Every structure is written in structure tokens, then in C-alpha cells.
Amino acid sequence: MISFQPTEEQALIADSLDAFARDVLRPRARAVDEAGAIPDDILQQGWELGLIGAAIPEAYGGSGGERSPMTGAIVLERLGTGCASLGSAIMAASGFVNALLDFGTDEQKREYLPLFTGAAPHFAGLALQEPQWGFGPDALRTTAERRGKGWVLSGAKRLVPFGDRSSHFLVVARRDERIDAFIVPRDTKGLSVAPESGTMGLKPLPTARLDLDRVELPGAARLGGEAGIDTARLLNLLRVGSAALAVGISRIVTDTAILYARERIAFGEAIGKKQAIAFMLADMHIECDAMRLMVWKAASQLEQGMDATKASVLAQDYVRRRAMKVADDGLQIFGGHGFIRDLPLEMWLRNTRAVTLLDGPVAI
């Protein structure tokens, strides 16, 4: 049997986040985008929802909930309907925490997971992106070398969310023919952190560049210990996370365009009654459902421990193309008003481009 119904708990989470997105995130999205900074009070409110610590076991101070990529996809879609920048900020630590939950040794979980169970937000960044043209996770230039019982990391990373205040970084690096991840404390010798100027989309989200000049680490810094990590799963969790956030943006674009098409009168009737507009809106609605189902399929396979690479890559590729089309069509329905900064259409278009290009801001 295939079920497309969320569990009772997931439905409650979705309803709660729909209200949070509508009442807290959406009213402040434009001002936050213009200011180019994430307000501390929003971070605190998001942290108090318990989204980061929900799956951390009670033994480490967390809520002890089930580790669920499906729930993660639902959460990110809902946050995306409010504000992709604020949603990414609230979930910025998910890449670090979820990787620890999935691959960390008992010692690593005991040392690091309690950092994320306090009353105030705590940040640790996943460092995947690199500053070279044509970057891809299969062509990492950051390297890890064995030195005795420890490791030496060399290379550069960029677009690390909240790198300006992260206590630790999870640096993804190539070692011979495999990929590993290493926990690097901020004050490690040889590591330098510099703020970046920002991107076209997700403007308020602070990002940083990391330069690793032969950074020496103990053997225990390798995530997963001798077993290492399941690289494919790590990358798939990131792919589906960004795709879920993009689906959320597509939903709010479509809902807003439908309302506008009902109210905007041209040549004596609502523009939504014109076939060209009505067909465009129908296609946008269809694409939102199609994207969501592809994201859910990949998330479901990840939840079941299956190899979800095919489903994740297909979902990512489809969402990258269709979410941009939905955002552009929404802007076109608003006509000249879509280009005016008083309305959020141009912001949604920029944010869609950002989340469909980047792997790493959030993970399910």
C-alpha cells in the first residue's frame, strides 16, 4: 500500500507551522529581505518550536522524537510558504544535527548533540559548497589526509550558513576515492572564517567562507569514526531539503497569484476568467502537487533506509526547473506589479533561484 496521508503527528506539525508561517514569517519577510539580516527574535521563536531538537534522543537532552525525513520535508515546505530566508535560518543547524543523528558515533553524539537542546539557538554549519566554477559534490577539492592517528584538512568552503557564529563546522572532504565529513571546532588552528557578501536570493541569510590551511584534527573528528558516513545519504538529505523548501515557495506564489487573478479586473472581468491566465494557474497548481509528490517519494525512501539517490536526484532536477517556472509565471500574472519591490513576487523569484541552486542550506 502507498499512502499519501501524513500521520496524525505530522498533520499537527503541518497545521502549527502553517500558522507560524502565516502569522510570524510572512508579515516580516519583505522587511527582513530589505534589511539583509535575520532578526534575533525570529530565530528565538523558531528555536522554541523545537524543530532542531525534536529527533535528538532524551539521553542527550532532546525531545526523543522519531528521526523522520518525511517530517523534515513537511516542515521545510511549510516554512517555505512563510519565508525561505527565515525558514533556512531557523533550520540552518539541521545539516549538522541530522548528520550527527544518522552517522555519528555514541561519543560524538554525547559531545555535540546537547549543544542543540538549550533554550537559545545554537549554530553549527555544514560546509559542502566550494568556490570553484562548476562545483559538484563529486568533484571536491577539499582534501583529508591521514597523519598518524589524526587528519589534515586542506581546501576552501563557501556559503556556509551562519558561519559567522557557528561553534563547529562539518567539513565535507575527499580522501582518496571516498568522501568523509569532519567535525572542525571554530577555534582550530589553520581555520579562518570570513563573511561573504551574500547572494541574489536568501539575502538575509549570513554565509561565510572557510579556508583550511593544513588544519590538523584528531582521529575522533571523522564523523562516524572508522565507519565513516554514507555519502549518498548525506547528499540526498540535502537535495531533498532544498527541494522541499522550493515547493513551499511555489505554493505561496500559486496561492497569491490565484487570489490576485480573482480580484484584478481588466476589460470588465477578473483576469482569472481569461483562458491564458486560467490555464497558467492550473499548470502552476499541478506543478506544486507534482513537485511535492516527488519530494515525498524521495523522503519516504530515505526514511525507510533505501538507496534514494535516483528519487532524490530526479526530485531535485524536476523542482529546479518547475519551481522557477512557477515563480516566473506568478510574476507574469501580476504584470508590471510583479516587478515592484512593494510586492513579494520578485523576492520569491530570487529566493527560488537560490534554493534550487544550492545544496546545503537545509537538510531533511
Q: Please provide the size of the chain in residues.
A: 364
Q: Are residues 350 and 236 in the same domain?
A: yes
Q: What is the CATH number of the domain that holds 24?
A: 1.10.540.10
Q: Are residues 248 and 353 in the same domain?
A: yes
Residue ending a domain, among 81, 116, 151, is 116
One-letter amino acid for residue 180 of the chain? D
135 in any annotated domain:
yes
Q: Are residues 129 and 208 in the same domain?
A: yes
Q: Are residues 40 and 100 in the same domain?
A: yes
Q: Are residues 31 and 50 in the same domain?
A: yes
- The C-alpha cell at 157 is 568552503
Q: Which domain holds residue 132?
A: 125-227
Q: Are residues 18 and 100 in the same domain?
A: yes
Place of cell 521545510: 76
1 in any annotated domain:
no
Cα–Cα distance between 282 and 24 in angstroms, integer? Answer: 29
What's the confidence (pLDDT) of residue 360?
A: 67
363 in any annotated domain:
no
CA-wise closest residue to 82 among 14, 157, 134, 143: 14
Q: Are 147 and 214 in contact (CB under 8 A)?
A: no
Q: Are residues 237 and 144 in the same domain?
A: no
Q: Is 82 left (phi over 0), alpha (psi -120 to 50) or beta?
A: alpha
Cα–Cα distance between 237 and 316 in angstroms, integer? Answer: 11
181 in any annotated domain:
yes
Q: What is the CATH number of the domain that holds 342?
A: 1.20.140.10
Q: What is the CATH number of the domain that holds 181?
A: 2.40.110.10
Q: Are residues 186 and 240 in the same domain?
A: no
364 in any annotated domain:
no
Residue ending a domain, among 227, 248, 263, is 227
Place of cell 559531545: 111
Q: Are residues 241 and 336 in the same domain?
A: yes
Cα–Cα distance between 164 and 41 in angstroms, integer? Answer: 18
Cα–Cα distance between 52 and 95 in angstroms, integer? Answer: 10
What's the confidence (pLDDT) of residue 270?
A: 92
Contacts of 69 (CB under 8 A, 6+ apart): 237, 240, 299, 300, 302, 303, 364
Cα–Cα distance between 290 and 275 in angstroms, integer? Answer: 22
pLDDT along the chain (364 residues), means of 10: 80 96 97 95 96 94 93 97 97 96 97 96 95 84 95 96 96 93 97 89 95 97 96 96 97 97 92 95 98 96 95 97 97 90 93 88 86
362 in any annotated domain:
no
What's the confidence (pLDDT) of residue 135?
A: 83
Residue ending a domain, among 227, 262, 295, is 227
Q: Are 314 and 294 in contact (CB under 8 A)?
A: yes
Q: Are residues 259 and 351 in the same domain?
A: yes
2 in any annotated domain:
no
Q: Are residues 236 and 344 in the same domain?
A: yes
CA-wise closest residue to 118 among 58, 189, 47: 47
What's the confidence (pLDDT) of residue 359?
A: 76
Q: Are residues 133 and 220 in the same domain?
A: yes
Place of cell 571536491: 140
Q: How many domains does the chain have?
A: 3
